[in-house]
Copies of this chain bind each other. A is one copy, B any other.
């Protein structure tokens, strides 16, 4: 069981980082939101970078775990990909703040950002493995599996992000539903958009 204060700080940090981005997030605000003294954060985390990295690592790991857990329920690649699409979108909806951070902070040349990309790359490889397996099993067909994997990641991620932001600022907190987006990605992936007669 992690120390109680660490959890409180984590919660506050996710919120503030997601609201402001890494650079605009102030340790003062995180401390205030967490209801602890600033020094307490530094007692548990070496630096702002350290806190942020811990946060993101845990977030991406959760995403990967969640995806894996859903994939392993099925054996056929087509079902696995189906499950992954749903898991991905569901996770982004349930972790809107992390989703924002993931895309907003994945670019740049800082070591921490390289580390995120390494983890995201790992996730994309997870997708690619399903695609490869599907090709081997004669279920899928594609010219460039690796590019296809990152395209899927992009499609499923941006469709949620775009929706999150288009609903932002609305008075009533809208309860984002996965259905429409899951349908769209599945249709795209399994069918394409060309009309079949």
Contacts and interface: CB of A to CB of B under 8 A. Distances in A.
**Chain A contact residues: helix, strand, loop or mixed:** helix
Interface string A109-130: 1000000010001001000000
B158 A157 contact: yes
A78 B195 CA distance: 11
A194 B108 CA distance: 35
A157 B159 contact: no
A148 interface: yes
A66 interface: no
A100 interface: yes
Given A148-B188, A192-B191, A162 B154 contact: yes
A21 B108 contact: yes
Nearest to A196: B141
Contacts of A191: 192, 194
Contact of A192 (B100, B138, B183, B189): B189
Nearest to A138: B195
A195 B139 contact: yes
A196 B141 CA distance: 8
A33 to B, nearest CB: 16
B144 A155 contact: no
Nearest to A107: B104
Interface string A66-78: 0000000000001
A148 B193 contact: yes
A27 interface: no
A24 B181 CA distance: 35
Contacts of A185: 151
Interface of A: 19-24, 78, 100, 103-109, 117, 121, 124, 131, 134, 138-144, 147-148, 150-159, 161-163, 165-166, 168, 180-181, 183-185, 187-196
